[in-house]
């Protein structure tokens, strides 16, 4: 190999697909502040504010009525913050990290697969934390005041795996809905979002019409009761999978506008 032509170029070896995908995961997580510390801190702050409110209710309510008054906190929506945050993270991964990753010569395929893996990893981490907190909340009888934040009705009262499953699935749902909305915007700008939103609205109205005309509302109610939180949430896997697949194909032909 001594007779290399003067104009020959030493090219780099191409890393394996798994390695290329993994570096996208690392890129998505390079700023831990955004993906880990900030949401954890805000969640902590929400907990603190809730705790203070519980304490006010607890202190202002006669002893006999306290259990009843604190019961209402099981409808607390404070825990939903984290899911909306993840929706925004999903959007930003496409709107900001994707154009940047193209500058690092990442393929769209590797970027989507790496980001999907990032979403699954973050969902796993957060759902474990969330579930552990829900048990602490339960064991301490609502942080000593009977309050509910991590054990609100939406997350069910099943065992460890059931709670973990609900939070995990809900979280991946929000990540992928956010990211796929991001790809629609990246490829077709506002029109993409408008048309996708219009189609979704039509599908929902159509479904409502179908249910109403066939007088199936009681059956739907039964279905929700029968499925329970775990069963209903399991059905979220379907739109999540559709979003993940659609996002991949939309992104493959997307170009950031400068």
Partner 1 sequence: MSTTLTPTSIAPTVQVEGLTKRFGSFTAIDDVTFSVKPNKIYGLLGRNGAGKTTIMQLLTGQDFATDGDIRVFGEGPVENARVLQNICFIKESQRYPDDFQAKHVFRSAPWFFENWDAEFAERLIRDFRLPLNRRIKKLSRGQLSAVGVIVGLASRAPLTFFDEPYLGLDAVARQIFYDRLLEDYAEHPRTVILSTHLIDEVSNLLEHVIVIDQGRILMDEDAEAMRGAATTVVGQRRAVDAFVDGHEVLHREGIGGLASVTVAALSPSQRAEAAAAGLELSPVSLQQLIVRKTNVAATEFEQSA
Is the Cβ of residue 5 or residue 59 nearer to partner 1 in the bound state? 5
What minimum distance in Å lies between the beta carbon of 101 and partner 1? 8
Torsion on CA atoms 37, 43, 45, 48, rounded to nearest 10: -140
CA–CA dist 160, 46 (Å, integer): 23
Is the Cβ of residue 66 or residue 252 nearer to partner 1 in the bound state? 252
What minimum distance in Å lies between the beta carbon of 168 and partner 1? 25
Cβ-Cβ contacts under 8 Å for 115 (sequence gap 6 or more): 24, 25, 28, 93, 94, 97, 179
What minimum distance in Å lies between the beta carbon of 252 and partner 1? 7
Q: Are 35 and 28 in contact (CB under 8 A)?
A: yes
What kind and span of H or E run contains 32?
Answer: helix 32-32
- Tell me which residue has tokens 């995961």: 25
Is the Cβ of residue 27 or residue 184 nearer to partner 1 in the bound state? 27
Is the Cβ of residue 38 or residue 57 nearer to partner 1 in the bound state? 38
Q: Are 160 and 150 in contact (CB under 8 A)?
A: no
Is the Cβ of residue 70 or residue 251 nearer to partner 1 in the bound state? 251
What minimum distance in Å lies between the beta carbon of 145 and partner 1? 35
CA–CA dist 146, 225 (Å, integer): 26
What minimum distance in Å lies between the beta carbon of 243 and partner 1? 21
Residues making contact with partner 1 (CB under 8 A): 4-5, 7-15, 17, 20, 23, 26-27, 30-31, 33-34, 92, 96-97, 99-100, 102-110, 252-253, 255-256, 258
């Amino acid at each position: 190999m001594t007779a290399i032509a003067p104009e020959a170029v030493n090219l780099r070896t191409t890393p394996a697909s798994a390695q290329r995908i993994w570096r996208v995961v690392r890129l998505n997580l390079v700023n831990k502040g955004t993906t880990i510390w900030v949401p954890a801190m805000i969640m902590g702050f929400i907990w603190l504010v809730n705790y203070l409110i519980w304490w006010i209710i607890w202190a202002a309510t006669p002893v006999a009525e306290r259990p009843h008054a604190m019961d209402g906190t099981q409808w607390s929506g404070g825990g939903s913050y984290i899911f909306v945050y993840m929706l925004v993270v999903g959007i930003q991964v496409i709107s900001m990290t994707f154009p940047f990753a193209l500058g690092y010569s990442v393929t769209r395929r590797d970027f989507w697969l790496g980001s999907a893996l990032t979403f699954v990893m973050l969902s796993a981490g957060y759902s474990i934390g969330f579930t552990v907190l829900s048990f602490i909340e339960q064991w301490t009888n609502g942080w000593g005041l009977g309050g509910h934040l991590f054990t609100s009705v939406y997350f069910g009262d099943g065992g460890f795996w059931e709670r973990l499953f609900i939070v995990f699935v809900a979280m991946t749902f929000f990540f992928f809905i956010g990211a796929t909305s991001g790809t629609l915007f990246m490829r077709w700008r506002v029109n993409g979002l408008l048309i996708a939103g219009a189609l979704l609205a039509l599908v929902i109205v159509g479904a409502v019409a179908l249910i109403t005309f066939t007088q199936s509302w009681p059956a739907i109610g039964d279905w929700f009761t029968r499925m329970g939180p775990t069963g209903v949430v399991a059905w979220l896997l379907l739109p999540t999978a559709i979003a993940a697949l659609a996002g991949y194909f939309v992104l493959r032909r997307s170009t950031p506008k400068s």
